[in-house]
Amino acid sequence: MASISLQNVTKRFGDVTVVEDLDLELEHGQFTVLVGPSGCGKTTTLRMIAGLEETSGGRILVGDVDVTGLEPKDRDIAMVFQNYALYGHLSVRRNIGFPLKARGVAKEEIDLRVTEVAESLSLTHLLERLPGQLSGGQQQRVAIGRAIIRQPKAFLFDEPLSNLDAKLRLEMRTELLRLQRQLGVTAVFVTHDQEEAMTLSDKVVVMRDGRVAQQGTPASVYAEPADTFVAAFVGSPTMNLLPGEVADGVFRSATPGLVLPTEGMVPGPVILGLRPEDALLTPGGSDGTIDLVELLGPRAIVRVRCAEIALTTVVEGSALAGITEGATVGVQARPGSLHAFDPDTQQRR
Amino acid sequence: MTGSRKISQWLTNALLIFAVFMVGGPFLWVLLGSFKTEQAINNPLQLLFVPTLENWSIVIEGGSFTRFGILSAQVLPPAVLVFPFLAMAYALRLNDTLVAVTVAHISLVLPVVTWFLIGFFEAVPKEIEEQAQVDGLGRFAAFRAVVLPQVAPGLGAAAVFGFVLSWNDLFYALILAPGNAKTLPVAIAGFNTFRGVQLGAMCAAILVSVVPVLIASFFVQRRLVRGISGGSLKY
């Protein structure tokens, strides 16, 4: 196990800079998630750590070793690909044992370790099958087994859950987290799904256009997004971002419709951030009409229209009485929950 | 020259020019089109335009240029290629040997088989090779250990295909090795003598020549089906 350190790492494809001057510390034993929209450079970053992509500048350290110029095979890092990349012509047993065989480990030792790993992943009864005869979830477990068998310095995961159906994805997410805690390994996980990022990570790195937009614990990124991009990207449903102006301790939206009291907010133009769960539908405040109610079970996403402003709110199941489409409600913000962003720089104030 | 001959000459020329235009016109249009932008290409009559190399760079960077380049020899009729081969064979004193036929057949079979195999290799996801590299193999070792086995059915099919192509060729073999080193098709053609065709003997020889092809196809077909159904994996 080891920490991974990226220092001023840059990647260019021709004239296009995909990753620019990236500095990242991925700490020993931590589960770090790189998250961002498509094309933000997260997968390229992962591939550079694995050695599958050469860097155009900067250094990559695994532990104290500079691995920047090393072949993937010499980095001692395991990787799980999005499509699992199982060897279709080899049995599950030989797939899992492959990294050991490639390193010339004795056959008896390989057999022993494969048996151990297969047991820990409930794959024992499938060992003689070919990957083509397995379900998606089973293939996923084989890919994980192949990654953990040689106890590498770090694990890299490239969107490994995105090919699974919703139920299995949740199960595998829990299993991955349990496995990582149990083995105490350094893990880097790439996803475009912010919910996956929030639930899995010790540390989340939000990327945008090849740069780090923000990094920190999931709770801190959620509570204090650094700019409007992170604010809109992290959290589901998306944060309401409302341009307007603060004057005399009150926020007035630029498009008329919403007036909210603000405590201690600097007067002047602002982009106000309001998380859907912090928008309260109670009597008083601005008037709104309920456009749409999407029931999720324990809670509902409620779209409210305040004059010309469309607002997304989340209402707990217990408070849903009287929340029906077409009903008139009052809209208020939970005290102390407002986020303020600079309209020019989009940065948090 | 009389007046009527002049007219007929003139008509012939006009017809020839018309024919050349009919054949050459589309080529000219394609040639011009390859240098036109997307907007300009929609107007076939537009002869004046600012030429662009964008289309060519797409073809070359996309790899299809190399791909078609491999097949370029196939565009020429065999008759164009066989005489240089014969001249070289004479110069190297290899005429009427199987070496000359083999070399000529390689030039014929290799591009076709390469073309045939491109699809098989492209069907193997790049991640398989990368996974093997991460798992501890070098680039070539990864290719040998995980990519080649995946395309084994394709290699088998290509082998039979190439074998049949070479086995059945009459033209190159007849010109490069008509005497002592003649191949089966040349020998079979030999039953057509100046005394007439020895049909019975020819039939027997044809059957003999078919047997190896059948045997090879049989073995490869079994492997092909097993390979495709057994190891297949959806990526």
Residues A70 and A204 in one domain: yes
Residues B84 and B46 in one domain: no
**Residue with the larger pLDDT of the pair B221 and B176:** B176
- Tell me which of A75, A77, A98 to substitute to probe the interface with B (most B C-beta atoms closer than 10 Å): A98
- Out of A233, A258, A284, a domain closes at A233
pLDDT at B225 over 70: no
- Out of B62, B87, B102, a domain closes at B62
Q: Residue B198 burial (CB < 10 Å; 0-12/13-18/19+)?
A: middle
> Degrees (nearest 5) of the Cα angle B86, B114, B151?
145
- Out of A233, A268, A289, a domain closes at A233
Long-range CB pairs of A174-179 (<8 Å, 24+ gap) are: A176/A144, A176/A200, A177/A31, A179/A144, A179/A148
The half-sphere exposure of A179 on its side-chain side, counting CA atoms within 13 A, is 19
Q: What's the domain count of chain A?
A: 2
Q: Residue A52 burial (CB < 10 Å; 0-12/13-18/19+)?
A: buried
Residue-range definition of the domain harbouring residue A273: 240-341
Give domain status of residue B168, yes or no. Answer: yes
- Tell me which of B57, B128, B129, B131 to substitute to probe the interface with A (most A C-beta atoms closer than 10 Å): B131
Residues B75 and B51 in one domain: no
- 8 Å CB contact between A21 and A211: yes
Question: What CATH number has the domain bearing residue A281?
Answer: 2.40.50.100
Residues B131 and B201 in one domain: yes
Averages of pLDDT over runs of 10 residues in chain A (349 residues) are 90 92 92 93 95 95 92 93 91 96 94 94 93 91 92 91 87 88 90 91 94 95 95 93 92 90 89 94 88 91 92 90 89 92 94
Q: Residue A310 burial (CB < 10 Å; 0-12/13-18/19+)?
A: middle
**Residue with the larger pLDDT of the pair B225 and A143:** A143
Residue A145 tokens read as 């087994």
Contact A72 B134 (CB under 8 A): yes
- 8 Å CB contact between A158 and A80: yes
Question: What CATH number has the domain bearing residue A150?
Answer: 3.40.50.300
ipTM of the complex: 0.85
* Closest-CA residue of chain B to A132: B233
Instruction: Over range B176-201, report the average pLDDT.
Output: 87
Residue-range definition of the domain harbouring residue B132: 70-230
Give domain status of residue A325, yes or no. Answer: yes
Residues A187 and A259 in one domain: no
Which pLDDT band holds residue B99 (cuts at 50, 70, 90)?
very high
The number of C-beta contacts closer than 8 angstroms across A and B is 75
Give domain status of residue B235, yes or no. Answer: no
A96–chain B Cβ distance below 8 A for any pair: no
E strand or H helix that includes residue B174: helix B171-176
> Degrees (nearest 5) of the Cα angle A161, A165, A170?
60
- 8 Å CB contact between A292 and A305: no
Residues A173 and A98 in one domain: yes
Residues B29 and B104 in one domain: no
For the stretch B7-61, pLDDT in tens is 899 999 999 999 888 878 877 888 888 888 877 777 767 777 878 888 887 776 6
Question: What CATH number has the domain bearing residue B215?
Answer: 1.10.3720.10
Contact B233 A132 (CB under 8 A): yes
Long-range CB pairs of A172-178 (<8 Å, 24+ gap) are: A172/A137, A172/A140, A173/A199, A173/A200, A176/A144, A176/A200, A177/A31
